[in-house]
Every structure is written in structure tokens, then in C-alpha cells.
Amino acid sequence: MTSPLIKGNAVIAQSGGPTAVINQSIVGVVEGLRGPDEIGKIFGSRHGVRGLIEDNLVDLSAIDQTTLDRVANTPSAALGSTRDKPDADYCARILEACQKHDIRYFFYTGGNDSSDTCRIVNELSNEASYELRCFHVPKTIDNDLVENDHTPGFPSAARYTGLMFMGDQLDNRAIPGIKINVVMGRHAGFLTAASALMRDRSNEDGPHLIYIPETAFDLDAFVTDVERIYTSLGRCQIAISEGVQDASGESIGARLIKGEADAHGNAQLSGSGALGDQLATLLKEKLTPKGGKAPRVRADTLGYPQRCYPDASPVDQAEARISGRRAAEAARSGDIDGSIAIQRASDNPYQPKFVRVPLEAVAAKTRYLPEEHKQGDNDVSDAFVEWLKPLVGPLPEIGRL
Amino acid sequence: MTSPLIKGNAVIAQSGGPTAVINQSIVGVVEGLRGPDEIGKIFGSRHGVRGLIEDNLVDLSAIDQTTLDRVANTPSAALGSTRDKPDADYCARILEACQKHDIRYFFYTGGNDSSDTCRIVNELSNEASYELRCFHVPKTIDNDLVENDHTPGFPSAARYTGLMFMGDQLDNRAIPGIKINVVMGRHAGFLTAASALMRDRSNEDGPHLIYIPETAFDLDAFVTDVERIYTSLGRCQIAISEGVQDASGESIGARLIKGEADAHGNAQLSGSGALGDQLATLLKEKLTPKGGKAPRVRADTLGYPQRCYPDASPVDQAEARISGRRAAEAARSGDIDGSIAIQRASDNPYQPKFVRVPLEAVAAKTRYLPEEHKQGDNDVSDAFVEWLKPLVGPLPEIGRL
């Protein structure tokens, strides 16, 4: 039986693509660790767990509340992040670093890869009989963690995406044409679905077509879908996930780019406008009547603002902060480990609950858009938008003439 | 001598790319026309002046204040817009439509093309001895109208661009690499320069390199510039205008794409990620050491959110509204015409003044970034940021660890 509180140091690290609220989570951890009984030092590890193995730690113990609050409200990862995906060997070096620095509390904010790192480090520490309390604090704009209703970072990204589509569909009404917007999310369609946040179907608002990675994407059906909307409304706004794939599981972006000359260099999809541009070219070719004028087709790839535009959802900010605090409080309460999941305590009024779940329950698993949130092959349901709305903060009202 | 107030109807139209505040301007015109003495009906022309020649008008006379306020706060052009650039013949049809509908007040919000349309219609009405009071209400995110300190629409686009770069440069610090962001503005560099809004040079914040269309762009110098920053900081954030051109005046985007296979279809730059993607490919090729690993290079093209993201600058909103009102008040005051320019009455505290200038003074002319706002071949001066800051509304504070 271990003591509820163990003296020793703590370390916090951030992983994967930054978000608008991941700093809230690390500040929450710091606040949660600052109890009446001091545990020891609180280290920040620079650039994820790489800071541990490269001995690049920063002491966060004495940082004043004003600075903490300012950091919490700043997007991106203030400690730096990493794309490293540690294997067992890498994790062993993480554990060594913890032992070297007398670290007894290990907090990692990130997605399913980070929860897996947490799980491995935790197992290694158990095997070594070194008491290390390992906690995962979820963070991903993709919202693809199982056990969670939603994950910190997603509501702010959904807010950005929904507002971007609102402005963009009004733009598309003002100067009609076909507009393709490519949204982040390789495997799960939550963020692409968020394009519908501000849509008023009774006004024939866009997005008119929504393509998520969970539904097989067919290029011919796509052209037919767009043609139908464009013929009927004289405009068409499309939301498409960067991760759409065909029935065989091949990425559409990779397939379209493969047909291209070598000048593209490679089939990199993220941080590139290639998928949108290729689809725009395809639509122009297919929808131009013989001897006629090509329709006006434009493509935007939403890019990094989805995860870093400084207009976070206040709900997301508060929840990310609490997630960090709960992880720290749980770690102080005994020799336990886990991931802090956000679940929905009630729908109306919206009320979250924060639940500790086992690392193994979350680690390296992927959650997909539930069936009741899909509608046909190219839309999301109103139930999805109802589910999303309480998470994204105050929204503007659309005025029309 | 004409009477100060002439009985007759009014028409308002919106032109060119929408902005976050162009609706403020049309609402300002409506409010300004609603004086103690009624002039007649207030028409909105759908899709710019095309609504006049296609008889697609909507009566705005009776719209309540709540709706007006809601429309004013909604981005994009609520009456619809057009890319038509009317010639003398088209303008003659506009005048005919005005005569047919007993329109005596003509308001056109837009950039330098719209002011030119205003000028031509005004001349035609003078030749026809038909009293038509023609007013141009400036609107352009490019900020390229002469006689103006800045134009409605620009401050909100600058706000978006500055905040996007802030989040993005923090992202670039968290996961270091080379990041290219392509900004709107074919001829003038104001919006690209706004990328520096939140930059703290003492923290080595991005953007580290800023390329505007006013300065000849050299591909070799670009590669050398990026290499220098990347070698020194391990990261590099770049702002580049979609309109950059080489010393001979050839568009860099068009030149890079020309080298590509036909699959791109054409050299369309706007609403496409091609320029950013081509520059990223170039950097990867040039900066990869023999047998070494290519640097992480990503490109985002900021796209339509620059002009339509619903997070307008409150200063911009207020000024756009006043510009519309002043145009209407001037039109009611006598048989005059003109464009309502925003000039700077004082710098500290910032105070604008609204000045009626002749249509000929603005029409079809282009304003460029002034010399004192440039710094070398690839940066903007601190004086530019000081000039910009009062226009963009409240800004967040960056927290750092």
C-alpha cells in the first residue's frame, strides 16, 4: 500500500499538433500539483518527451499566476511539442530520465499516441518497481479518442471551422460558384462535420456537401453531387476531409497527386493545397459544357489556423484547464494512473463530467463519427450540430437581406 | 442651382470581393438616407450594378433597425456582389436603369474599379443633364486606394492575418520547421505586411521574412534568406504575397506553375494553394543536404477567411458604418458626388477623419505600401506596425514559458 502523496518531482510534456487550449491543460496540471503539501519540483519537458531524454527541462515550480494565466490563454504548445512516437526503447530512456530526476509524477498531453506512450512508460515503471504516476491529459482537434464525448482542443478547432464556413458560405452566396474547403482530420470526420455548425438549411446555406473519411469517397459520385447542387442553386460549398479515401482504403489525395508530374515531389497532403487544387481542376474539367465556360471553382485548405487561431472556445478553455487539474489531483491522491476523459453528464443544460479511465482503454485506439451523426454519404445530421453547439462558445447571428 | 435635397429614389450596391464590414457600409448609407425629409425609396441592387441592368432590386426602405444591425455585423455582401467591370456601354445601361426607377442617389461600395464605375456613371448623368448624385464608399482588404489612410475592410483582414500569423508562429516554434503563408493582395503589400502585427522581435518571433509585391522577388535570394534564418533559429516563418513578381514584372506564381505539367489546367493563383506548394517544393529541393533529410516545409494559403472570417475589428466596423453614413449625408446636402476617404486626424490617440474626395482622385488608381513602412527587401518597419495597431481592435497577450 503506497502513501496517497509521494514526495518527488513532477514532469509535464506536450505532444503532437498544438491546439488553442493545450496550454490550459499544462497550467491546470501545475495548479493541481500545487496543493497544501508540496510534492517537489514541477518540471516542463521541452518538445514533448524528447526533453526528458535530451535533458532539456525547465522548472515551472515558481511561475506566478499572472504568467500562468497568460500562457493558458495563448494557443500552441508553450513547452514545445514533438512528432516522436516512442517505442519501448525510447520509453525506457524516458523512465531512466524520470529516475535520474527523482520524478514520481508524469503528465503527458496529447492524442492516442501520447496515451500509448503513457501506457508503456507506466508499464515499464511498474516492472521496475519504480513508483511513477503516469497521467494522460487528452488533446486533439481530431476528437478521435475513445471513452471521450469530446477532447480538449476539438471545440476550439470546431469553432474556427464552423465560423470559417459561415463566412465562406456567405461569400459564396455573394459571388456564386463552387467552393471546396479541405479540413484537417485524417481518420475521423468530427472536424469536417463541424463545417455545418452555422448552417441554416432553410436558407439553403452551405456546406451543401460534407465528405468525411469514415465514408468511402467516390470521385464520380462527387462530380454528380456537385453538379446537382450547382445546377439547382448556382453555387455549391463543399467540406471535405484531407483524409477521404475510396472504398479500397486508398487516399484520394494521394491518388489524385500520383497522376501528377513529378514536380510535386511527393504526395504530402498536410500543409499543402494539393487535394483541394486537384479536386477543383477535376470539377472544372468535368463540369464545363462543350464549348462553354468553366464554372468558377475555388479551393481553400484550412490549414494551421484550425489548430492555432487565437479565438478559442471558452468552454474548451475551461474544460482543458479542469482536465489538467483533475489529472494532477488524481495523481496526488494515490499510486494510480490513467487518462482524464470528458464525458457528457447532461445534454440540456450541457454539463460535462471528468472521468479517470485506464490508459489501456484510450491508448492507440481511434474513435469515429458515430452513425447518428452521419446523414447519407455526404452530409451530417442535425443531431451532430445539436451535440456540437454547447461546446463552441458564443456564436454570431447571421443577418440577411 | 439645385436644391439641397432632391426627391427621388436611392440605390445601393456592393462590388468586388466581400469583406467582414462591407455590410456596415450599406447599413450606414441606409441610416444616412433616413433623414427627417424623406427622399423616396431605398433600393438594394443585387450582385452589384448587375442588379440595376437586370432589374433585380430589393426595397430596403422599411427594414427595421434590429435587422439592419444584424446585417451590419454579418460578414460578406448581403446584397450579393459582382466581378463585372463595367465599360462605358454597361455604365450607360446603369444610368438608364436609374432613370427608369427615378433613382437620384447612387451609392457603390468597392475598390478602385467601383470608384471608376461611379465616376463614369456620374459623367454620363452629367452629360444627360440627369441629376444623379454618385457616391463611392471605399471597401477593399487590399488597402490600395489613394487618398485614404486605410480603407474599410482592410483592418479586419489585417486583424485576421496578424492573429493567424501569431498562432502559426507559435505553432512553428512548438514543432520547428519552415512555414510559408501566402497572403492575399495582388498589387499592394499592406495585408502581407500585417503578418507582423503581433511579432515581438526580441523573442525572435515570426514572420522572419515578408515578401510584398512592391519589391522585386528573386528566387535565389529567397532560398538564401530562408536558409540563413533556418540555420540560425532552426525554424522560419515566411509571409509572402500572392502577387510577388520578379524584377521584370513577371508573376512568380505564374512562372513556377508554368514549369508544371498541364494537369494544373491553368495558372490560377487566387483560390488555389499552388504558389505556396511550389515554393515549398523548391525549398525542400534546395535546402536538402546531399544524402541528408529534407527540412520540414509546410505551406498554407490563407484564402477566403482573410476577407470573411467573422471576427471583425470593431474600429473597422464603426468606420465602415460612418463612411456609409457620410456618403448619404453628403448626397442629401446637395448635387455633389465623391468618395468618402478615411484619413488620419491624429496618431496618438488615434483619430480618423472622413473626407469627401473627388471620384477622379480615387478612380482606377493604386496605392502602394509607403517607403517608410518597408524595411529592406524582405521585411516591414516597426513604423508600419505602429500605424496598423490602432485599427485592428483588441489583441491578445502572448504568454511564454
Same domain? For A58 and A124 the reply is: yes
Nearest CB partner across the interface for B400, out of A71, A284, A308 = A71
Task: Tell if the CB–CB gap between A277 and B261 is shorter than 8 Å.
Answer: no
For the beta carbon of residue A269, count every other beta carbon within 10 angstroms: 19
Distance CA B288, CA A393 (A): 44
Closest CA to B155 of B387, B397, B398: B387
Same domain? For B221 and B319 the reply is: no
Mean pLDDT in chain A?
94
Distance CA B60, CA A221 (A): 42
- One pLDDT digit (tens) per residue for chain B, 401 residues: 456 889 999 999 999 999 999 999 999 999 999 977 889 999 999 999 999 999 999 999 999 999 999 999 999 999 999 999 999 999 999 999 999 999 999 999 999 899 999 999 999 999 999 999 999 999 999 999 999 999 999 999 999 999 999 999 999 999 999 999 999 998 999 999 999 999 999 999 999 999 999 999 999 999 999 999 999 999 999 999 999 999 999 999 888 776 543 333 445 566 678 899 999 999 999 998 888 888 999 999 999 999 999 999 999 999 999 999 999 999 999 888 999 999 999 998 999 999 999 999 999 899 999 999 999 999 999 999 999 999 999 999 999 99
Q: In chain A, which residues have their Cβ closer than 8 Å to the Cβ of B277?
A: 264, 272-274, 277
Same domain? For A108 and A35 the reply is: yes
Report whether pLDDT(A270) > 80. no
Report whether pLDDT(A2) > 70. no
Render pLDDT for A331-369 as a digit per residue (tens, 0 to 9). Answer: 999 888 999 999 999 998 999 999 999 999 999 899 999
Same domain? For A383 and A253 the reply is: yes
Residue B21 counted as domain residue: yes
Q: In chain B, which residues have their Cβ closer than 8 Å to the Cβ of A197?
A: none
Residue B328 counted as domain residue: yes
Residue A133 counted as domain residue: yes
List residues bridging with A45 in a β-sheet.
A57
pLDDT at position A259 is: 52
Kindly state the cell numbers that stand for B214. 512592391
Q: Is B400 helix (H, G, I), strand (E, B) or coil?
A: coil
Check if the beta carbon of residue B10 is closer than 8 Å to that of residue B101: no
Residue A111 counted as domain residue: yes
State the ipTM, two decimals.
0.96
Residue B344 counted as domain residue: yes
pLDDT at position B256 is: 79
Task: Tell if the CB–CB gap between B304 and A171 is shorter than 8 Å.
Answer: yes
Closest CA to B274 of B259, B286, B284: B259
Same domain? For A123 and A166 the reply is: no
Same domain? For A176 and A319 the reply is: no
Distance CA B388, CA B155 (A): 8
Check if the beta carbon of residue A311 is closer than 8 Å to that of residue A17: no
Task: Tell if the CB–CB gap between A63 and B263 is shorter than 8 Å.
Answer: no
Backbone phi, psi, residue B330, to 5°: -65, -45
Same domain? For A238 and A378 the reply is: yes
Distance CA B358, CA B45 (A): 24
Same domain? For A298 and A169 the reply is: yes
Render pLDDT for A84-97 as a digit per residue (tens, 0 to 9). Answer: 999 999 999 999 99
pLDDT at position A254 is: 83
Same domain? For A84 and A123 the reply is: yes
Backbone phi, psi, residue A380, to 5°: -115, 160
Q: Is B159 helix (H, G, I), strand (E, B) or coil?
A: helix
Chain B CA closest to residue A294 = B265
Backbone phi, psi, residue A66, to 5°: -60, -45
Distance CA A150, CA A111 (A): 12
Instruction: Give the pLDDT band (50/70/90) at residue A3.
Output: low
Nearest CB partner across the interface for A272, out of B63, B68, B277 = B277
Residues 6+ away with beta carbon under 8 Å from A346: none
Distance CA A282, CA A301 (A): 16
Check if the beta carbon of residue B214 is closer than 8 Å to that of residue B368: yes
Containing structural domain, residue B339: 9-153+312-365
Check if the beta carbon of residue B329 is closer than 8 Å to that of residue B137: no
Closest CA to B229 of B169, B162, B299: B169
Q: In chain B, which residues have their Cβ closer than 8 Å to the Cβ of A263?
A: 259-261, 278, 281
Check if the beta carbon of residue A257 is closer than 8 Å to that of residue A318: no
Same domain? For A330 and A354 the reply is: yes
* Per-residue CA distances from A333 to A38, A99, A329 (Å): 13, 21, 6
Residues 6+ away with beta carbon under 8 Å from B37: B5
Task: Tell if the CB–CB gap between B310 and A72 is shorter than 8 Å.
Answer: no
- Chain B interface test: which of A57, A83, A308 (most B C-beta within 10 Å): A308
Distance CA B215, CA B103 (A): 45
Instruction: Give the pLDDT band (50/70/90) at residue A293.
Output: confident
Report whether pLDDT(A265) > 60. no
Residue A399 counted as domain residue: no
Report whether pLDDT(A267) > 60. no
Chain B CA closest to residue A256 = B263
Domain containing A231 — which CATH number?
A: 3.40.50.460
Distance CA B226, CA B208 (A): 9
Q: How many CA atoms lie within 13 A of B22 on its CB side?
A: 34
Nearest CB partner across the interface for B311, out of A74, A301, A311 = A311
Task: Tell if the CB–CB gap between A163 and B399 is shorter than 8 Å.
Answer: no
Terminal Cα-to-Cα distance of chain B (whole angstroms)? 70
Give the pLDDT mean for A307-319.
Answer: 97
Nearest CB partner across the interface for B261, out of A260, A280, A308 = A260
Task: Tell if the CB–CB gap between B76 and A304 is shorter than 8 Å.
Answer: no
Distance CA A19, CA A22 (A): 6
Instruction: Give the pLDDT band (50/70/90) at residue A261.
Output: very low
* Biggest CA pair distance of chain A: 82
* Per-residue CA distances from B171 to A159, A186, B179, B225 (Å): 18, 19, 10, 21
Which residue out of A113, A116, A142, A277 is catalytically annotated? Answer: A142
Consecutive H or E run containing B361: helix B359-362
Distance CA A97, CA A116 (A): 18
Q: In chain A, which residues have their Cβ closer than 8 Å to the Cβ of B301?
A: 273, 300-301, 303
Nearest CB partner across the interface for B78, out of A260, A264, A401 = A401
Task: Tell if the CB–CB gap between B174 and A76 is shorter than 8 Å.
Answer: yes
The dihedral sign for the CA sequence A214, A218, A223, A227? negative
Distance CA B197, CA B162 (A): 5
pLDDT at position B264 is: 36
Domain containing A67 — which CATH number?
A: 3.40.50.450
Sheet with A338-347, strands from edge to edge, namely A57-59, A42-45, A9-14, A103-110, A133-138, A338-347, A350-357
* Three-class secondary structure assignment of chain A: CCCCCCCCEEEEEECCCCCCCHHHHHHHHHHHHCCCCCCCCEEEECCCCHHHHCCCEEECCCCCHHHHHHHHCCCCCCCCCCCCCCCHHHHHHHHHHHHHCCEEEEEEEECHHHHHHHHHHHHHHHHCCCCCEEEEEECCCCCCCCCCCCCCCHHHHHHHHHHHHHHHHHHHHHCCCEEEEEECCCCCCHHHHHHHCCCCHHHCCCCCEEECCCCCCCHHHHHHHHHHHHHHHCCEEEEEECCCECCCCCEHHHHHHHCCCHHHCCCCCCCCCHHHHHHHHHHHHHHCCCCCCCCCEEEEECCCHHHHCCCCCHHHHHHHHHHHHHHHHHHHHCCCCEEEEEEEEEECCEEEEEEEECHHHHCCCCCCCCHHHEECCCEECHHHHHHHHHHCCCCCCCCCC
For the beta carbon of residue B234, count every other beta carbon within 10 angstroms: 12
Q: In chain A, which residues have their Cβ closer than 8 Å to the Cβ of B74?
A: 170, 396-400
Task: Tell if the CB–CB gap between A174 and B76 is shorter than 8 Å.
Answer: yes
Distance CA B295, CA B288 (A): 7
Residue A401 counted as domain residue: no
Chain B CA closest to residue A24 = B399
Same domain? For B118 and B140 the reply is: yes
Residue B280 counted as domain residue: yes
Report how many domains make up chain B. 2
Closest CA to A122 of A155, A147, A176, A86: A86
Q: In chain A, which residues have their Cβ closer than 8 Å to the Cβ of B66?
A: none
Render pLDDT for A169-216 as a digit per residue (tens, 0 to 9). Answer: 999 999 999 999 999 998 999 999 999 999 999 999 999 999 999 999
Kindly state the cell numbers that stand for A196. 455545418
Closest approach of A400 to chain B, Cα-based (Å): 6
Task: Tell if the CB–CB gap between A175 and B18 is shorter than 8 Å.
Answer: yes
Strands B42-45 and B57-59: antiparallel
Distance CA B263, CA B277 (A): 15
Same domain? For A305 and A342 the reply is: no
